[in-house]
Amino acid sequence: MKRILNWFRLRRLESDLDRELQYHIDRRVTDLIHSGLPEPEARRRAALELGGTTKVREEVRDIWLTRWLRDFVHDLRFSARSILRSPSFSATAVLSLALGIGATTALYSLIDQIVLRALPVEHPERLVLIDWIGFQNAETFGTHNLMSYPICLDLQQQKQFFDGVFCRAATTINFSTGGEPRLTAAELVSGTYFSVLGVSPALGRLLTIDDDQVPGSSPVVVLSYDFWKNQFGGTQDIVGRKVLVNQHPMTIVGVAAPAFHGIDVGETPSVWIPAVMSAQSIPGFKTMLDRRTRWMQILGRLKQNVSLERAKTGLQPWFKSMLDEDTRRTNISRASPEQRRRFLASTLALTPAPQGHSVLRHDFSQPLWVLFVATAVLLALACLNVAGLFLARGSARHREISTRLALGASRGRIGRQLLTDSLLLAITGGLLGVAIAPIAVRALIAFLPHNTAATDLQANIDMRLLLFAFLVSLLTGFLAGGAPALQAGRKSLDSALRERGGTPSGGLALRRAIVTAQIAFTLILVIAAGLFVRTLSGLLLKGPGFDTSSLISFGIKPDLNGYSGAEESRLIRRITEGLRDSSNIQASSIALVQLLLGGAWSNSLTIQAQERYVTDREIEINAVTPGFFATLGARIVAGRDFNEHDALNVEAPHQSLPVSESGQRAVIVNEAFVKRYFGGRNPLGARVAMGASPGAKPDSEIVGVVENISYTNVREQSEQAYFPIGTELSGSNFYLRFRGTPESAFRSIRAILRNADPTLPISYFRTLDEQIDRSLNTERMLAALSSSFGTLALLLSLVGLYGVMSFVVTQRTREIGIRLALGATRVSTIWLVLRDALTMIAAGTAIALPCVWALGRLVQSQLYNVKPTDPITILAATLVLCSTALGAALIPARRAAAVSPTDALRFE
Amino acid sequence: MPSSRFPIPQGTLDMLILQILSLEPAHGYGIAQRLEQISKSVVQVNQGSLYPALHRLEQRGLLKADWKESETGREAKFYSLTRSGQKQLRSEKESWVRLAGAVQLIFDEGAAQ
pLDDT at A675: 93
A605 and A728 belong to one structural domain: yes
Range of the domain at B21: 2-112
Which of A23, A51, A52 is opposite residue B29, by nearest beta carbon?
A23
A298: left (phi over 0), alpha (psi -120 to 50) or beta: beta
Each residue's pLDDT tens digit, A585-616: 899 999 988 888 877 788 888 899 888 888 88
**Assigned domain for A105 exists:** no
CB burial of A195-228 (b: ≥16 within 10 Å; e: otherwise) equals bbbbbebbbbebbbeebbeebeebbbbbbbbbbb
Local confidence band at A286 (pLDDT 50, 70, 90 cut-offs): confident
Residues of A near B (Cβ–Cβ under 8 Å) read 2-3, 16-17, 19-21, 23-24, 26-28, 49-52, 55-56, 59-60, 63-64
Residue A55 scores a pLDDT above 90: no
Q: Using an 8 Å Cβ cutoff, are A361 and A149 in contact? A: no
Is A579 exposed, middle or buried (CB count within 10 Å of its CB: 0-12, 13-18, 19+)? Answer: buried
B48/A55 touch (CB, cutoff 8 Å), yes or no:
yes
Q: What is the dihedral of CA A345, A351, A355, A358, to 10 degrees?
A: -20
3-state SS, A797-848, equals HHHHHHHHHHHHHHHCHHHHHHHHHCCCCHHHHHHHHHHHHHHHHHHHHHHH
CB A687 within 8 A of CB A641: no
Q: Give residue A501's pLDDT.
A: 44
Question: Quick one: which of A395, A671, A368 has its CA closest to A509?
Answer: A395
Write the single-letter amino acid at A383: C
**Domain range holding A660?**
558-760
CA distance A688 to A679: 16
Residue of B nearest to A16 (CA): B77
Assess whether pLDDT exceeds 70 at residue A507: no
Q: CA–CA separation, A638 vs A627, rounded Å?
A: 15
| pLDDT reported for residue A2 | 62
Element (H, E) at A251: strand A248-256
Among B29, B66, B69, B71, most A C-beta atoms within 10 A, so best to mutate, is B29
Query: Chain-wide mean pLDDT for chain A?
Result: 84
| Residue A232 and residue A177 share a domain | yes
Averaged pLDDT, A743-750: 88
Terminal C-alpha separation, chain A? 53
Is residue A486 domain-resident? yes
Q: Burial of A88 by CB count in 10 Å (0-12 exposed, 13-18 middle, 19+ buried)?
A: exposed
CATH of the domain at B32: 1.10.10.10
Task: Report whether pLDDT(B41) > 70.
Answer: no
Residue of A759 and A734 predicted with greater confidence: A734
What are the DSSP calls for A677-746, one per residue?
HHTTS--TT-EEEES--TT----EEEEEEE----SS-SS----EEEEEPPSS-SSEEEEEEESS-HHHHH
Is A409 within the bounds of a domain?
yes
Q: A825: number of CA atoms within 13 Å, CB side?
A: 3
Distance of alpha carbon A106 from the chain centroid: 10
Q: Do residue A604 and residue A527 come from a single domain?
A: no
Question: Which residues make beta-bridge pairs with A602?
Answer: A620
pLDDT digits (tens, 9 = 90+) for A143-179: 788 999 999 999 999 999 999 999 999 988 889 887 7
pLDDT (0 to 100) of residue B2: 41
Give the separation between CA A830 and CA A257, rounded to whole angstroms: 71
Measured between alpha carbons, how far is residue A140 from residues A147, A296, A333, A795, A865 in Å? 9, 10, 19, 50, 30
Q: Could you tell me which residue, A721 or A450, shows the higher pLDDT?
A: A721
Domain match, A226 and A150 both: yes
On whether both A472 and A350 belong to a single domain, the answer is no
pLDDT reading at B44 higher than 70:
no
Rounded to 10°, the helix A411-447/A87-111 angle is 50
What amino acid is encoded at A786 in this protein? S
Percent of chain A exceeding pLDDT 90 equals 30
Residue B21: count of CB within 10 angstroms of its CB: 24
Residue A47 maps to a domain = yes
Q: Which of B31, B51, B60, B82 to mutate to test the interface with A (most CBs of A within 10 A)?
A: B51
Using N-to-C axis directions, what is the helix angle for A508-542 and A871-897, rounded to 10°?
140
- pLDDT band, residue A730 (cuts 50/70/90): low
Average pLDDT over residues A510-532: 90
| pLDDT, tens digit, 9 for 90 and up, residues A617-629 | 888 989 898 899 9
Angstrom CA distances, A348 to A156, A263, A895, B86, stand at: 15, 21, 71, 66
Q: Return the residue in B36, B46, B47, B63 with the most chain A beta carbons within 10 A, the one to mutate for interface testing.
A: B47
Provide the shortest C-alpha distance from residue A20 to chain B (in Å): 6
A704 lies in a domain? Answer: yes
Chain A contact set for B48 (CB, 8 A): 49-52, 55-56
A654 and A567, same structural domain?
yes
Amino acid A857: pLDDT: 83
Number of helical H runs and strand E runs in chain B: 4, 5
Give Cβ neighbours of residue A151 (< 8 Å, ≥ 6 apart).
A132, A291, A298, A322
Per the domain annotation, does A81 fall within a domain? no
Find the range with the poorest average confidence among A45-54, A437-446, B64-73: A45-54
- The predicted pLDDT at position A384 comes to 85
Task: Report chain B's terminal Cα–Cα distance, integer Å.
Answer: 38
pLDDT higher than 90, residue A6: no
**Residue B52 to residue A49, Cβ atoms within 8 A:** no
Pick the residue with more confidence: A395 or A480? A480
Distance CA(B28)–CA(B48), nearest Å, equals 11
Q: In this complex, do B59 and A63 lie within 8 Å of one another by their Cβ atoms?
A: yes
Specify whether A334 is located in the same domain as A370. no
Chain mean pLDDT for chain B: 82
| Cα–Cα distance for residue pair A831/A297, rounded to 1 Å | 67
Domain boundary, last residue among A695, A725, A760 = A760
Contact B29 A28 (CB under 8 A): yes
Residue of chain A with shortest Cα separation from B57: A63
d(CA B43, CA B53): 17
> Which of A305, A323, A354 lies at the terminal end of a domain, its last residue?
A354
Tell me the pLDDT tens digit for each residue of A190-223: 999 999 999 999 999 999 999 999 999 999 999 9
User: What's the pLDDT band for A495 if we cut at 50, 70, 90?
Assistant: low
Distance from CA of A59 to the nearest CA of B (A): 6
Instruction: Compute the count of residue pairs across chains A and B with CB atoms less than 8 Å apart.
Output: 55
Confidence check: pLDDT of A842 > 60: yes
| Residue B100 Cα, gap to closest chain A Cα (Å) | 31
DSSP string across A345-392: T-EEEEEE-TT---HHHHHHHHHHHHHHHHHHHHHHHHHHHHHHHHHH
Average pLDDT for residues A506-525, to the nearest whole number? Answer: 85
Nearest CA in chain A to B60: A2
pLDDT grade, residue A275 (50/70/90)?
very high
Q: In this structure, are residues A224 and A271 in contact, taking their beta carbons and an 8 Å threshold?
A: yes
> In this structure, are A382 and A265 located in the same domain?
no
Higher pLDDT, A521 or A484: A521
Residue A770 belongs to a domain: no
Q: What is the DSSP letter of A147?
A: B
A689/A607 same-domain check:
yes
d(CA B59, CA B49): 15
Of B55, B59, B74, nearest to A23 by CB-CB distance is B74
Determine, for residues A63 and B51 on separate chains, whether the beta-carbon distance falls below 8 Å: no
Three-state secondary-structure class, residue A899:
coil
Task: Tell me which of A231-245, A462-476, A642-656, A891-905 is least confident.
Answer: A642-656
In Å, how far are A22, A169, A529, A537, A789 from A784, measured between CA atoms?
A: 69, 34, 8, 12, 9
Predicted ipTM? 0.85
Given this model, what pLDDT does residue A662 score?
46
Q: Give per-residue pLDDT as tens, A619-670.
A: 898 989 889 999 999 999 999 998 877 765 434 344 444 444 445 688 999 9
Calculate what percentage of chain A has a pLDDT beyond 70: 91
Nearest by CB to residue B32, choosing from A16, A19, A24, is: A24
Question: CA A184 to CA A88: how far, in whole Å?
Answer: 54
pLDDT score recorded for residue A5: 67
Tell whether A520 and A668 lie within a shared domain: no
Q: Report the gap between the CA of B46 and the closest CA in chain A (Å).
A: 8
Q: How confident is the model at residue A335 (pLDDT cuts 50, 70, 90)?
A: low
3-class SS of residue B63: strand
- Tell me whether residues B48 and A63 touch, CB distance under 8 A: no
Same domain, A523 and A411: yes
Is the pLDDT at B9 greater than 80? The verdict is no
Q: How confident is the model at residue A442 (pLDDT cuts 50, 70, 90)?
A: confident
Is A545 part of a structural domain of the chain?
no
Split at pLDDT 50, 70, 90, the class of B3 is very low
Number of domains into which chain B is organized: 1
| Confidence check: pLDDT of A253 > 50 | yes
Of A293, A325, A354, which residue constitutes the final position of a domain? A354
Same domain, A183 and A228: yes
Task: Give the integer Cα–Cα distance in Å for A319 and A155.
Answer: 9
The pLDDT confidence band at residue A431, using thresholds 50, 70 and 90, is very high
Residue A104 confidence (pLDDT) above 50: yes
